[in-house]
Amino acid sequence: MKTNDYVKYMTQTIVKYADQPKDERKRLRIEKKQTKADFWYRWFGILPYILYSEIKKKQRHK
Of 38, 12, 16, 34, which Cα lies nearest the Cα of 25? 16
pLDDT(37) > 80: no
Q: What is the pTM of this model?
A: 0.44
Per-residue model confidence as pLDDT tens digits over 38-49: 776 777 778 877
Does residue 25 have a pLDDT over 80? yes
Amino acid code (one letter) for 11? T
pLDDT at 58 over 80: yes
| Nearest alpha-carbon partner for 12 in 4, 22, 23, 1 | 4
- What would the pLDDT profile of 26-35 be if each residue is shown by its tens digit? 998 898 888 8
d(CA 10, CA 2): 12
